[in-house]
Chain A
Amino acid sequence: MVRTSLTFVAIAIACLFLADLETIGVDPWAEFSRMALGAVTPDFTATDRLFDAVVQTLAFALLGVALANLFGFALALAFHYRIVRVGCAFIRAIHELFWALIFLQIFGLSPLTGILAIAIPYAGIIAKVYSEILEEADPAPARAAPFGSGAISIFLFARLPDAWVHFKHYSMYRLECGLRSSAVLGFVGLPTLGFHLDSAFKQGHYSEVSALLILFYVIIATMRYWMHKRLLPVYLIGALIALPTGAAISTTNIVRFFTQDIVPHPLRVAESIDGAALANFWDWSTTLLLTQAMPGAFNALVLTMIALVGAGACALVMFPSISPKFFGSKSRTVGHVFLVVMRSTPEYILAYVFLQLWGPSMAPAIIALSLHNGAIIGHLIGRHTETMRSRPDSPKGLNLYGYEILPRIYPQFLAFLFYRWEVILRETAILGILGIPTLGFYIDSAFADIRYDRALVLIILTALLNIAVDALSRRIRTRLRLKTTLDHG
Chain B
Amino acid sequence: MPLFDLRNANAAYKGATVLNGISLSIEAGERVALVGRSGAGKSTLLRMLYEQRAKEAALLPQELGLVRVLSVFHNIYMGQLNRHSAWYNFVNLVRPMEREVEMVRTIADRLGLVEKLFAPAGELSGGQQQRTAVGRALNQGSDILIGDEPVSAVDEHQSRNVLESINEHHDTVLLAMHDIDLAITYTDRIVGLRDGAIVMDQPTAGMVFSDLDDLYRN
Contacts and interface: CB of A to CB of B under 8 A. Distances in A.
A30 interface: no
Nearest to A150: B86
B80 interface: yes
B90 A161 contact: no
B88 to A, nearest CB: 9
Contacts of B140: 146
B69 interface: yes
A156 B61 contact: no
Interface in B164-211: none
B68 interface: yes
B190 to A, nearest CB: 26
Contact of A153 (B60, B65, B86): B86
B68 A162 contact: yes
Contacts of A143: 59, 61, 65
Given A141-B66, A141-B67, A147-B54, A157 B82 contact: no
Given A144-B59, A144-B136, A153-B86, A161 B69 contact: yes
Contact of B64 (A140, A146, A152, A157): A140
A114 to B, nearest CB: 32
A342 interface: no
Nearest to B53: A147
A141 B78 contact: yes
B82 A148 contact: yes
A349 B38 CA distance: 64
A165 B69 contact: yes
Contacts of A164: 69
Interface in B16-32: none
Given A140-B64, A156-B90, A161-B67, A145 B78 contact: yes
Interface in A52-94: none
Given A141-B67, A156-B89, A146 B74 contact: no
A162 to B, nearest CB: 6
A157 B69 CA distance: 10
B93 interface: yes
B44 interface: no
Nearest to B62: A140
Contacts of B80: 146
Given A152-B86, A161-B67, 5 more contacts: A138-B67, A143-B65, A146-B78, A161-B69, A162-B69
B84 to A, nearest CB: 7
29 contacts: A138-B67, A140-B61, A140-B63, A140-B64, A141-B65, A141-B66, A141-B67, A142-B65, A143-B61, A143-B65, A145-B81, A145-B82, A146-B78, A146-B80, A146-B140, A146-B142, A147-B54, A150-B82, A152-B86, A152-B90, A157-B67, A157-B70, A157-B74, A157-B78, A157-B81, A161-B69, A161-B70, A161-B74, A161-B93
B55 interface: yes
Going nearest first, the 4 A-B pairs with the smallest beta carbon separation are A144-B65, A149-B81, A152-B86, A140-B65
A158 interface: yes
A152 B55 CA distance: 18
Interface in B38-87: 54-56, 58-61, 63-70, 74, 77-82, 84-86
A156 B66 contact: no
Contacts of B61: 140, 143-144
A354 B43 CA distance: 67
A154 interface: yes
A142 B66 CA distance: 9
Given A144-B59, A144-B64, A146-B58, A153 B69 contact: no
Contacts of A152: 86, 89-90
Contacts of A147: 54-56, 82
A219 to B, nearest CB: 30
Interface residues of B, number: 32
B33 interface: no
B69 A158 contact: no
Nearest to B93: A156
A147 B81 CA distance: 9
Contacts of A144: 59-61, 64-65, 78, 133, 136
Nearest to B58: A146
Contacts of B86: 150, 152-153, 156
Nearest to B69: A161
A436 B79 CA distance: 62
Nearest to A164: B69
A141 B56 CA distance: 18
A153 B84 CA distance: 9
Interface string A122-158: 0000000000000000101111111111101110111
Contacts of B67: 138, 141, 157-158, 161-162
Contacts of B74: 157, 161
Nearest to A147: B55
A140 B67 CA distance: 9
B81, B84, B142, most chain A CB atoms within 10 A: B81
A143 B61 CA distance: 9
B82 A149 contact: yes
Interface in B102-129: none
Interface string A192-234: 0000000000000000000000000000000000000000000
Contacts of A140: 61, 63-65
Contacts of B69: 161-162, 164-165
A146 B66 contact: no
Nearest to A162: B69
Contacts of B56: 147
Nearest to B83: A146
Nearest to B55: A147
A138, A144, A150, A158, most chain B CB atoms within 10 A: A144
Contacts of A141: 65-67, 78
A141, A146, A164, A165, most chain B CB atoms within 10 A: A146
A308 B180 CA distance: 65
A35 to B, nearest CB: 49
Nearest to B79: A146
A141 B58 CA distance: 13
Nearest to A148: B82
